[in-house]
């Protein structure tokens, strides 16, 4: 019997070393959604920047919004909801997308 104890025999999960299976989905960076700004609609009011709870939106000197901290964005959609001109839409981030 060696060192194969009765404990491991009764609780095989303790010694299982195979692949873990399940239905849990892990969001990868590729799947995350980020705000996209329609600068034709945008009237540079800065509301989105002020309401973002993560400080993820920055403003250029002319008031044009941009995603300042992509990693800080948690896709809460508050900016999208608060924009008075429907100029923000959360989109799935594309591989290699800089915004
Ligand atoms: S809230 Fe909308 S209109 Fe105002 S700066 Fe942001 S994107 Fe532009
Ligand atoms: S989705 Fe939320 S966290 Fe991301 S930029 Fe908009 S307000 Fe900020």
Domains of the chain from N-terminus onward: 32-93 (3.30.70.20)
Q: Taking all residues of the chain, what is their mean pLDDT, rounded to a whole number?
A: 80
pTM metric for this prediction? 0.70
pLDDT given at position 46: 98
pLDDT given at position 73: 97
State in Å: Cα 21 to ligand 1 middle.
44
pLDDT tens-digit profile of 73-92? 999 999 999 999 999 999 99
Ligand closest to the CA atom of residue 60 = 1
Higher pLDDT, 73 or 16: 73
State in Å: Cα 86 to ligand 1 middle.
8
Confidence of residue 93 (pLDDT cuts 50, 70, 90): confident
Rounded average pLDDT over 28-51: 90
| DSSP string covering 17-79 | -S-----PPPPPGGG-EEEEE-TTT-----HHHHH-TT--EEE-TTS-EEES-TTT-----HH
């Amino acid at each position: 019997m060696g060192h194969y104890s009765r404990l491991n025999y009764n609780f095989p999960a303790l010694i299982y070393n195979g692949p873990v299976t399940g239905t849990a989905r892990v969001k990868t960076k590729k799947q995350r959604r980020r705000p996209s700004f329609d600068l034709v609609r945008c009237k540079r009011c800065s509301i989105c920047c002020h309401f973002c709870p993560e400080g993820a939106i920055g403003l250029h000197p002319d008031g044009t919004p941009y995603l300042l901290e992509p990693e800080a964005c948690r896709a809460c959609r508050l900016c999208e909801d608060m924009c008075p001109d429907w100029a923000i839409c959360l989109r799935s981030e594309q591989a290699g997308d800089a915004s």
